[in-house]
């Protein structure tokens, strides 16, 4: 059998040439404009193929990197293709956005230069004097933006530690947005998205869910009534701790018009290379997120059984008070790859734990292939005053873990030996036992 010498086969199968095609149902119908239909294909298939057309000129299976900042026009105002200038749109960004829209069951997605820029752009889309209700337990950078930047622009944010109960009373005439993070960071509290969204929609208020901690593989907030889902792509979606990027996905054409105007006007856009890398990472999201969740479950169970541990926060545990919401909102009731726990022995023990691990690296961030550990009270959440921190469960002895995709037996062994050293053993000094990063 001879192989064709033509660089492109006669019939180039374009399995997923456009989002519309991806979202076309088997009966050929495209659903009503404001709602995305259930995708025909399952998550892993979409992760690999959505937004990944074969290159029409070379047949390249992997999209080329499109570094050009400008695109030629045949006559004034008539670009050759879909693109004019790379801040406004770029082929690598479009492909990534199409993939995210498919995975979040959304009609539209817009990528930004970071998760924080995504949050800022959504807040900037609100008219001055707008009111926002947010869960108390939000990502530190989101809290900083809400309290120190949004207010300066005339947008006021009220925080609630129990939003499902309080939301109705907190709504004002000018409330425009409700901001949810589920699970929250670092205590892994869950919010019943449907419950909050139902109340919000009765008042014409939009609901945003920061889905960073679970990734679209474990949770699709739009399916539970949210209007906008946001991600720090930096975490699970890219998954290899080498890109800072953000994305928002939603169904409304009006939201699309507002946010894409600001995406272009503010210009907080990701580079083509970052989009390319994040899209590559995304193709294995289902494998990584599944493994991370299995690993976190094993680690959480081992910690729960340890006499040195005060409490474990993990929605995958049967003992978690959030288990019913996890079963309702998460794929197969998965708990995700993040957990936190309180160690006996106070802050010192938590610090010793992070120095004693041999696989978990002491570092901020999460969602990468490598496992990380940190002490929120002294690192990611150090900016929050102690009384406020403790009110939301961030005690000095709390350790947060991001489980990677290493082998679960190794991770469990590592955590248990570190607990033993942290609680029972003496003070570990830097050097002899090695600090993180030089453990192998």
**Binding stretches for ligand PLP (CB under 6 A):** 114-116, 139, 141-142, 181, 185, 210, 212-213, 232, 234-235, 244, 246
Minimum CB distance to ligand PLP smaller for 91 or for 246: 246
Give the residue from 390, 388, 394, 359 showing the smallest Cα distance to 373: 359
How many residues in the chain?
440
CB of 363 to ligand PLP, least distance (A): 13
Minimum CB distance to ligand PLP smaller for 216 or for 345: 216
CB of 68 to ligand PLP, least distance (A): 26
Which entry of 137, 192, 210, 274 is annotated as an active-site residue? 210
Which entry of 93, 107, 176, 235 is annotated as an active-site residue? 235
Cα-based angle 192, 301, 181 (whole degrees, multiple of 5) = 25
To the query of whether residue 173 is one of the catalytic residues in this protein, the response is: no
User: How far apart, in whole angstroms, are the C-alpha atoms of residue 152 and residue 239?
Assistant: 34
CB of 51 to ligand PLP, least distance (A): 20
Which entry of 83, 93, 139, 331 is annotated as an active-site residue? 139
Residue nearest ligand PLP, Cβ-based = 115
CA dist 375 → 71, 194, 270, 276, 319 (Å): 48, 32, 30, 33, 23
CB of 336 to ligand PLP, least distance (A): 12
CB-CB contact of 135 with 208 (8 Å): no
Minimum CB distance to ligand PLP smaller for 52 or for 187: 187
To the query of whether residue 217 is one of the catalytic residues in this protein, the response is: no
To the query of whether residue 235 is one of the catalytic residues in this protein, the response is: yes
Q: Which helix (H) or strand (E) holds 131?
A: strand 131-135
How far is it between the farthest Cα atoms of the chain? 76
Burial of 146 (0-12, 13-18, 19+ CB in 10 A): buried
To the query of whether residue 210 is one of the catalytic residues in this protein, the response is: yes
DSSP states along 24-63: --TTS----TTSPPPPSS-HHHHHHHTT-PPPTTT--SSP
CB of 235 to ligand PLP, least distance (A): 6
Minimum CB distance to ligand PLP smaller for 53 or for 368: 368
CB-CB contact of 22 with 102 (8 Å): yes
Question: Phi first, then psi: what are they for 112, rounded to 5°?
Answer: -130, 170
Residues labelled as active-site residues: 87, 139, 210, 235
């Amino acid at each position: 059998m001879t192989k064709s010498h033509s660089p492109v086969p006669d019939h180039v199968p374009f399995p997923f040439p456009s989002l519309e095609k991806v979202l076309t149902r088997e009966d050929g119908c495209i659903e009503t404009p404001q709602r995305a239909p259930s995708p025909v294909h399952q998550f892993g298939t979409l992760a690999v193929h959505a937004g990944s057309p074969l290159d029409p000129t070379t047949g390249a299976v992997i999209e080329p990197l499109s570094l050009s900042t400008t695109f030629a026009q045949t006559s004034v105002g008539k670009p050759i293709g879909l693109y004019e200038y790379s801040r406004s749109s770029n082929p690598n960004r479009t492909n990534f956005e199409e993939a995210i829209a498919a995975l979040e069951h959304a009609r539209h997605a817009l990528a930004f230069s970071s998760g924080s820029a995504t949050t800022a752009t959504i807040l900037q889309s609100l008219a001055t004097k707008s009111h926002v209700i947010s869960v108390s337990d939000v990502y530190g950078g989101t809290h900083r933006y809400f309290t120190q930047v949004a207010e300066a622009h005339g947008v006021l944010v009220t925080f609630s530690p129990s939003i499902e109960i309080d939301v109705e009373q907190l709504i004002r005439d000018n409330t425009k947005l409700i901001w949810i993070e589920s699970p929250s960071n670092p205590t892994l509290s869950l919010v019943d998205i449907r419950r909050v969204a139902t109340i919000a929609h009765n008042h014409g208020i939009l609901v945003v869910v920061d889905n960073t901690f679970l990734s679209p593989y474990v949770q699709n907030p739009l399916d539970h009534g949210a209007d906008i889902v946001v991600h720090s792509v930096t975490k699970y979606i890219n998954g290899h701790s080498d890109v800072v990027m953000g994305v928002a996905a939603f169904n409304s054409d009006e939201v699309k018009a507002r946010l894409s105007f600001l995406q272009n006007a503010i210009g907080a856009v990701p580079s083509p290379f970052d989009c390319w890398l994040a899209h590559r990472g995304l193709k294995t999201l289902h494998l990584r997120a599944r493994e991370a969740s299995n690993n976190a479950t094993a680690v959480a169970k081992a910690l729960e059984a340890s006499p040195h541990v005060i409490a474990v926060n993990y929605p995958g545990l049967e003992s978690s008070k959030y288990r019913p919401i996890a079963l309702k909102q998460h794929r197969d009731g998965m708990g995700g790859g993040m957990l936190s726990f309180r160690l006996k022995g106070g802050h010192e023990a938590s610090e010793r734990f992070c120095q004693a691990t041999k696989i978990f690296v002491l570092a901020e961030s999460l969602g990468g292939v490598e496992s990380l550990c940190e002490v929120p009270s002294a690192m990611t959440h150090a900016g929050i005053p102690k009384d406020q921190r403790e009110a939301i469960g961030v005690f000095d002895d709390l350790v947060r873990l991001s489980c990677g995709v290493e082998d679960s037996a190794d991770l469990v062994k590592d955590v248990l030996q570190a607990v033993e050293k942290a609680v029972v053993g003496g003070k570990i000094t830097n050097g002899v036992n090695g600090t993180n990063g030089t453990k192998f």
